[in-house]
Structure 1
Amino acid sequence: MNVDTRLVKEKEENLDVKKILFKYLSYWKLYCICIVLALLGAFLFFRYATTLYKIHAQVLIAQNQANSTTSSFLQSSMMEDFSGLFNMTNSVNDELAILQTRDLLEKVVKDLNLNVIYQQSGVINTKEIYQRSPFEVSYIPDSDSVLTAMFSITFPKDANYQTYEIESKISDSDFHAKSKFNDTLITPVGKICITKTGKPFENLDYSFVIASPDEVIENLIKNLSLAIPDKETDVITLDFVTNIPLKGETILRKLIDVYLNRNLNEKYSISDSALSFINSRITLVAEDLNNIEGDIQNFKQSNNLTDISEQSKQLVASSSSYLDKQNEVEVQLNVVETMLKYIQDEKNNHRPVPALLNADPIFLALVDKYNTALVQRDRLVLTIQENNPIIQNADEQISNLRSDIIKSLQSQEKVLLMSKKQLSYENSQFSSLIKSVPAQERRYVNLSRERDVKQALYLYLLQKKEEIAITKASNIPSASVIAKPKSEYEPYFPSKLLTLAIALLLGVGIPTGIVMVTQLLNTRVETREDIEENTATPIIAEISHSDQPEVMLTDKESRSVVSEQFRLIRTKMEFLVPAKKCPKILITSFMPSEGKSFIAANLAHIYALAGKKVLLMELDLRKPKLSKILKMPNNTGFTKYVVHQKNSPLDYIQQVGDSSVYLMGSGPIPPNPAELLINPIVTTLFSELEQHFDLIIMDSPPVSAVADARILMRFSDINFYIVRQKHSYKNSLKATDELIKTENLSNLYIVVNDVRKGTAYGYGYGYGYGYGYGYGYSSSK
């Protein structure tokens, strides 16, 4: 593509954009009205729409992963979280589900008394007042199901705000009462007591709504959104939408507090269960230890023993290693029996099992799984019913784990019994050596051995009790707030930028849509493009709109737009029929009232101004109009000449004023106009008229109604097809192509009439302009 071609193409593309632009700019008044209305609507929307804010908060979930191979039941470190002692882990998704539970939101609503909403009436709408109400309502419902009720309350000025009047419409019944502050008032929905808060009363109408807690909870759920923003982190974000930032921050803060307290109470429950078990065991062991020590005391007193012989010391020293082993086995066996008795007790089915035995890692793993399963079941019960298959599956899993623990304990018991038996045999060997020792010393050794076993167990339980107590005291929630609830500074809704953008979009889009629909449904000729798209017939001229169409606009001194446009037609005619002595112009259209007579009269006058002798022939024999425009009588003319065929045709022609324009009127309306036009005398008539005039202009009927115009076209040199803007139909333009095809015309041209200034006809290219010629005269027509 060369440079010239590219420049031409770019010029055409720019021209199309201008066409589209001017096409819509012709409706600028509609655009201005719509934009002003849209901006006014946006202003009213800003003024009276409920402003919404977003409240944000973030909670970090601590993942506690205890070492499964640890040999300790309780970690001795005070900073260790208690959930780590039971080898539990916190899932972020589980904590997210807990935060969304209805129980937490129900406690938030109850603690903050959110089902009582205080309102203040404004000029147009009612606004909620949070923590600014001069009164407070305490409410006790009369049933579990609370109906939402709205109460309006007024305070008589002369009572110094000591009394109030309250009224409401509940269940299609009116309620009205007068009362004093701090008095209990019985209403159809329950008992209420209104007290002062100490905040000042304003001269405004107040009201309050007692809403159903379920409705308030549903509203909280709808406006609350929780999410895990990143899978790589353990952070939960909480967003809450509200029209009162302070209220939203308070709700989120309370929700987080309730969640953290629930988490902490869960840990306290596990600690309390373990402490209760250990305390019961300490009591039993202490009783046994006291009994043994009493037996030793009685034994010494009854046998008058103050010291043990050297032989007994040596014997005890020799068997010390075996005694230590036996003591250890006795302790472990006692623990196993205690655990077995505890786990087999049906009362402890849903209580955590403390892993008091540390030697068997398999047993520790089973206890860890069992405790974890119990905690998970408790969490499931918060959201679903116990008869749910998920709960039943969890119960079955817990039962299986419990059976495995019992089997493990029974297996350990057997092993310890065998060890005990073996150690007893070895100790019996030493017992044979003690036969020579006095019976009293032998009895003392047995009592001491039993005392050591009980004492070791007692000290062990005391140690674990202290560790659990220390851990309980140092318990902290497994979540922490890393971003406190805070409202955004700018409101979330309505967005000024977005609302203005929508308003402008509507202000431009609505009129654009109206214009597009109007043009889509419009069947009339509006623009030059409408003509060019519906016919290939060329346009020879456009005539602008005139407010006085029947007044001649082509005076000699006229410099109006219309005058110049008719002069342009005269100039173009010199190129269309340059060598013709007396050109004949036929003017027709598709339908009446398109301006044929107006064009014919003014075209004749513009030729007369150039010194031409012009004949106007009024050949619309059915509805003649040219005579009325020229204000000439029509009692003689074409029909009389053709019917009578007497005298010269010049006898039927009248001069228009003192100009060189002449008129052959239509004459009386005949019953058969078409037959008159095909009369051979008509040919003779045109031949004779050509000898006397420089130009003949024929005003013919519309081509859609009758065949008269088609008959006359055989006499014409140029045919003008009149199209009137906003009046002619687009489909009528196809008649020009038909005329060219059927009549074999090559001299048919379109003249566009009544082109209005400011319309999109020519998209601003030279239409509706005015001239000034230096003579003190200008026209804007």
Structure 2
Amino acid sequence: MSENINSNQSTSVQEELKSEGDIKQIIFQYLKYWPWFVVSVFICLSVSFLYLRYTTSIYKTAIQIKILKDEGGLDLTGLQGSAPLFDWSRINLQNEIEVIKSRRMAQKVINNLDLEISYFRSGNLKISEIWKNEVPFLVKWSNEKDFKDMSGSYEVTFTSLTKFELNNPETNFRESFNPGDTIDVEDKRFVIDFNPNFDGDLKSIINSSFSFSKRSKESVAASLAGSLNINILGEGSEILDISISGQNPQKNEDVLNTLVSEFNEDGVSDKRLVAKRTEEFVIERLVFLVNELDTVESGLVDFKKVNDLITLETSAGEIINKSSQAELKRYEILTQIELTESFKEVILNQDEFELLPANIGIDNSNLNTFTESYNQKIIERQKLMMSSTENNPLIIEANRIMKRLRDNILNTIDGYIKNLNITLDNIQNREQIFNRNFGQLPEQEKQVRVIRRQQVIKEKLYLFLLQKREEAALSNAITAPVIKVVDFAYTPGSPISPKSRVILLAGGVIGFLIPFGILFLAFLLDTKLKSKDQIKFYLPNIPIVAEIPLRKKEENTIIESNERSAVAESFRILRTNLNYLNPKKSDHKNLPEGQVIMVTSTTKAEGKTFVSLNLANTLVFTSKKVLLIGCDLRNPQLHNYLDLNKNHIGVTNFLYDDSVGFEDLILKNRMKNSKLDIILSGQIPPNPAELLMSERFEEMINAAKAEYDYIVIDTAPTILVTDTALISKFANSTLYVTRAGLTDIRLMPHINEYHKDKKLINIGLIINGLPESGISAYKYGYTYGYAYGYGYAYGETPSKKKFWKFW
């Protein structure tokens, strides 16, 4: 049980180490190309810096305003029946937003700031908008009424303080003018002169490029209205946040501050319209009342003259007092009736969509509320009519609402007058009772009282209207603002576009992803052999006996006995590992015959001849008798390494010519400082497979085994021809050569098939052509062994690793 637990723990540790090794392998695979990442990131960051340097910055400017409520307007009298002239407590913020964003408000801002003309300063690669005191010159247009949007812009270059060049790139117009000259060109007439408020030095503008363009007010208004962004700050809030984006922060701030000022003036003007209409109505009634009051007073004088009356005696006591109170109440009702009837007369006689006088003293809250609502709808309709027609659905809906309000006002007036008349009848009935008690009073006294009562009514109404006239005049003069500026226009120092951090981060990320993506695709599509691990993955049951580094071009193809290069060491390791391929025959002293080592590969150019020659030469260094036989009868390459004639007598001659003896084939002392014996392939035969199947080939092998300790056979590729499979039975072991960067990993099943079907004896795999610095680099635990054995001779001091090879 304990052994199973330890085994499981050991397996888990191995899996963790393997997973860690795979991750490191992937990382090191990409780190090999770290200069690509550095260059790509540097280029992308440079492009990002250039983009930020030469891209026009866009700034966002915001202003906050509070829409104010008028909590009751002006109340200066405290008189009975008086009421505030205005009630602005109901606020519809969405309506206010639409008013602010209207083209009417935009046109007011345009007229105030002269926004039709835009000025720019031209740099090497960047054009910046300039504003007000930053502009060295001003353009004054002579034909603004007929002006339409200008195509393109005019470029202005001051060659001196007395001369400038005007250029239109789109029409190829170019001509020189003097400041202050009237320029009549391309159906346009304007004057360019210096800006007296220019902050800079005029000499600095010489040879500097500027440009200007002009658009119609309609297009600028539409653009300005569309660029405004208005939001309500919080639910239930009365504060609006108004923002705009543009190149020039000062221009943005001026536009927003002017817009808010114009909006406030527009609201104040609406309030003054109602106050003015009320004042006009009161003045009209005052003129009428002055005439009536004069008539009453003249009648009293005439009555006294006719009846020779100087004073009237006091009588009637308490009855008279009660009668007087009833009479005063009747006078108030009569006053309300007269005011109401006059108000009705005004409604019936004036135009349908004209403002009504508000709060003229009628003591009826419903009637005052309907009148105020009617006036608000009149003002809204007048604003809509500025940019719409009668057929606009909003106008039609407003007309319907105003008609309903007008009918409600008239119905309310009729009902109110009816109630007043009922009350008046009751009071008159009481007065009749009181009057019967005055039967004993002189008729003259009664008539005087009647006349004086009429005089009192007219005087009270006259004084009341005088007071209302003053209220309306004061309201018109000191109308309160409709907004409060919470925070004036402000522009943060950093632009909203382009965002430097985002651009730089994106540049760095893209710079990293470009080489990563290229390498990923390259690794994904690359099917060539790259490492020892790939062979282990596809051929786990076949041992790897050697990893041979790539031979440098300046080095000799054939290794020497005292050579300590990485290639030489790899062949020495191969020589040692041969003993494990044929363990039963590893003790050569007891062998009656030589050991046959066959070297083959899947395709040509994988280095089997190179491996055969150097392996045989390495075996010679151990004082063994070694014979190298070239058995690639179809495409022999051994003669090229030895600088011999291709058609020299060889295996082919021995196989088809019985007169050729084995000793005739052997070439001795053909390599410098080596006792390696060599047999070439000979002439290329028309039937190599049949020759290799003959008894003469077995006879040649037996003769070689009797004389030599090792026989190394260089054979043909296995995937192209069957020659190797035919002679594999004569081999004690088979070295199967693969080449890094050339052997296709899709051919690994072919090798596995040969091993599984035992078509080749005791196969050992060789990886040829690995970069010296990359041998077993994908397995960090194996790197030390090769670095120790290949990188430098034993006892030598290792050279310092280059800093760029940090991985």
Normalising by structure 1, we get a TM-score of: 0.89
In structure 1, C-alpha distance between the alignment counterparts of 2:68 and 2:735, rounded to whole Å? 92
2:742 aligns with: 727
Question: Is structure 2 residue 281 aligned with structure 1 residue 269?
Answer: no
| Corresponding position: 1:398 with 2:410 | no
Other-structure match for 2:530? 526
Amino acid at match of 2:56: T
Structure 2 contact 179–194 (Cα < 8 Å) conserved: no
Deviation at 1:118, TM superposition (A): 1.6
**Partner residue of 1:628?**
640
1:594 deviates by 1.6
Contact 1:130–1:247 (CA<8 Å) still a contact in 2? yes
Q: 1:48 aligns with which of 50, 54, 57?
A: 54
**Aligned twin of 2:189:** 191
Mapped to 2, the partners of 1:707 and 1:221 lie a distance apart of 86
2:804 paired residue number:
none
- Secondary structure of 1:310 counterpart: coil
Match of 1:664 in 2: 679
Query: What is the correspondence of 1:425-440 to structure 2 with a 5 Å cutoff?
Result: 425-432=429-436, 437-440=441-444
Q: Which shifted more, 500-509 or 433-442?
A: 433-442
2:215 to 188, 211, 234: 211
Preserved CA contact (<8 Å) 2:581 2:764: no
Deviations 1:39-69 (A, max 9, x none): 2212222321212222232222335576xxx
For residue 42 of structure 2, the aligned residue among 36, 43, 49 is 36
1:96-119 residue CA offsets vs partner (Å, 9 max, x unmatched): 333322332232233212221122
CA contact (8 A) 2:654 2:662 kept: yes
Q: How many Å separate the matches in 2 of 1:122 and 1:644? A: 91
Matched, 1:561 2:573: no
User: Contact 2:164/2:179 (CA < 8 Å) preserved in 1?
Assistant: yes
Residue 592 of structure 1 is matched in structure 2 by: 604
Residue ranges of structure 2 left out of the alignment (5+ in a row): 586-590, 802-807
Structure 2 distance, partners of 1:439, 1:156, is 105
Letter in 2 for 1:566: F
Shift of 1:352: 4.6
Distance in structure 1 (CA, Å) of the matches to 2:47 and 2:261:
43
What residue in structure 2 maps to residue 119 of structure 1?
A: 120
- Listed one character per residue, the Cα deviations across residues 443-497 of structure 1 (whole Å, up to 9, x for unaligned) are 3222211121122222222223333333444433332221211111223333333
Asked if the contact 1:613/1:695 (under 8 Å) is kept, the reply is yes
What's the CA shift string for 1:246-268, capped at 9, x where partnerless? 12221222222222222222222
Mapped to 2, the partners of 1:595 and 1:342 lie a distance apart of: 116
User: Which of 479, 489, 492 in structure 1 is aligned with 2:493?
Assistant: 489
- The structure 1 residue matched to 2:751, chosen from 716, 728, 736, is 736
172-181 or 520-529, which moves further after superposition? 172-181
Change (3 A) 1:111 1:569: same
Shift of 1:20: 1.5
Structure 1 pair 240–5 and aligned structure 2 pair: CA distance change class (3 A): farther
Matches within 5 A, 1:339-488: 339-347=343-351, 349-352=353-356, 354-356=358-360, 359-377=363-381, 386-432=390-436, 437-488=441-492
8 A contact 2:731–2:761 mirrored in 1: no
**Residue in structure 1 matched with residue 30 of structure 2 by the alignment:** 24
8 Å CA contact 1:61–1:234 kept in 2: the answer is yes
Query: Do the aligned partners of 1:141 and 1:190 also contact (CA within 8 Å) in 2?
Result: no
1:494-643 equivalences under 5 Å are: 494-532=498-536, 534-536=538-540, 537-548=542-553, 551-580=556-585, 581=591, 582-634=594-646, 635-643=648-656
Looking at structure 1, the residues matched to 773 and 222 of structure 2 have their Cα atoms a distance apart, in angstroms, of 59
Report what 1:250 is aligned to.
254
Q: Which runs of 5+ in 1 are unaligned?
A: 67-72
Equivalent pair of 2:21/2:779 in contact (CA under 8 Å)? no
Which amino acid is 1:469 matched to?
A: A
Instruction: Report the AA paired with residue 544 of structure 2.
Output: I
Label 1:538 to 1:292 Cα distance change in 2 as closer, same or farther (>3 A). Answer: farther
Structure 1 residues 402, 215: closer, same or farther in 2, change over 3 A? closer
Aligned to 1:69: none
**Structure 1 residues 553 and 397, CA gap change in structure 2 (3 angstroms):** same
Distance 1:496 1:530 in 2: 45
Structure 2 residue corresponding to 1:321, chosen from 311, 320, 325: 325
Residues 282-317 of structure 1: CA deviation (Å, up to 9, x unaligned): 232233223322332343345443322334898854
Give the whole-Å Cα distance in 1 for the aligned partners of 2:319 and 2:307.
20
**2:104 corresponds to which residue?**
103
Residues 1:338 and 2:342 aligned together: yes
Within the alignment, does 1:141 sit opposite 2:144 as a pair?
Answer: yes
The change in CA–CA distance for 1:186 and 1:594 in structure 2 (over 3 A counts) is same
Distance 1:339 1:385 in 2: 30
Q: Deviations over 1:207-251 (max 9, x none)?
A: 211234455445545654222242243322223222222122212
Moved more, 306-315 or 185-194: 306-315
> What is the CA distance between 1:505 and its match in structure 2?
1.0
Q: Which residue of 1 aligns with 2:665?
A: 652
8 Å contact from structure 2 (residues 166, 175) kept in 1: yes
Contact kept, 8 Å, 1:64 with 1:84, in 2: the verdict is: no
Whichever residue aligns with residue 55 of structure 1, its letter is: T
Q: Which one-letter code corresponds to 1:178 in the other structure? A: F
Alignment check: 8 A CA contact 1:577 1:583 kept: no
Q: Deviations over 1:623-643 (max 9, x none)?
A: 111121123444111100101
CA–CA separation in structure 2 for the residues paired with 1:216 and 1:268 = 30
Matches of 2:84 and 2:720, distance apart in 1: 100
Amino acid at match of 2:754: L
Q: Is the contact made by 2:558 and 2:614 (CA closer than 8 Å) also made in structure 1?
A: yes
Closer/same/farther in 2, CA of residues 549 and 165 from structure 1, 3 Å limit: closer
Letter in 2 for 1:578: P
1:665, distance to aligned residue in structure 2 (A):
0.5
Change (3 A) 1:643 1:215: farther
Corresponding residue number in structure 2 for 1:70: none
Tell me by how many angstroms 1:543 deviates. Answer: 1.4
Quick check: 481-490 or 187-196, which moved more?
187-196
Query: Partners of 1:83 and 1:54 in 2: how far apart?
Result: 42
Q: Distance in 2 between matches of 1:83 and 1:380?
A: 27
- Partner letter of residue 601 of structure 1? L
Q: Residue 337 of structure 1: CA displacement?
A: 0.6
Query: Does the 8 A contact of 1:60 with 1:482 survive in 2?
Result: yes
Matched with 2:303 is: 299
- C-alpha change, 1:166 and 1:404, in structure 2 (3 Å) is same
In structure 2, give the amino acid aligned to 1:246: Q
CA change 1:370–1:18 in 2 (3 A) is same
- Structure-2 change in CA distance of 1:354 and 1:15 (3 Å): same
Deviation at 1:723, TM superposition (A): 2.2
Q: CA deviation at 1:273?
A: 2.5
What is residue 771 of structure 1 aligned with on the other side? 792
Aligned mates of 2:663, 2:120 — CA distance in 1: 97
List 4+ stretches of structure 1 deviating above 6 A. Answer: 312-315, 775-780
Displacement of 1:23: 0.9
Instruction: Calculate the aligned-residue CA RMSD, in Å.
Output: 3.3
- Deviation of residue 621 (structure 1)? 1.0
Q: 1:113 to 1:687 in 2, by over 3 A?
A: same
CA displacement 1:672-697 (0-9 Å, x = unmatched): 11111122322232223222222222
- TM-score if structure 2 supplies the norm length? 0.87
Letter aligned with residue 615 of structure 2: L
CA distance in 2, matches of 1:758, 1:540: 19
Is 1:166 paired with 2:166?
yes
What's the secondary structure of 2:342's corresponding residue?
helix
2:583 match: secondary structure: coil
Post-superposition shift, 1:395?
1.9
Query: Helix, strand or coil: the match of 1:771?
Result: coil
Assess, with a 3 A threshold, how the Cα gap between structure 1 residues 625 and 318 changes in structure 2: closer, same or farther. Answer: closer
Higher mean C-alpha deviation, range 611-620 or range 337-346: 337-346
Change (3 A) 1:359 1:107: closer
Q: Secondary structure at the match of 2:183?
A: strand
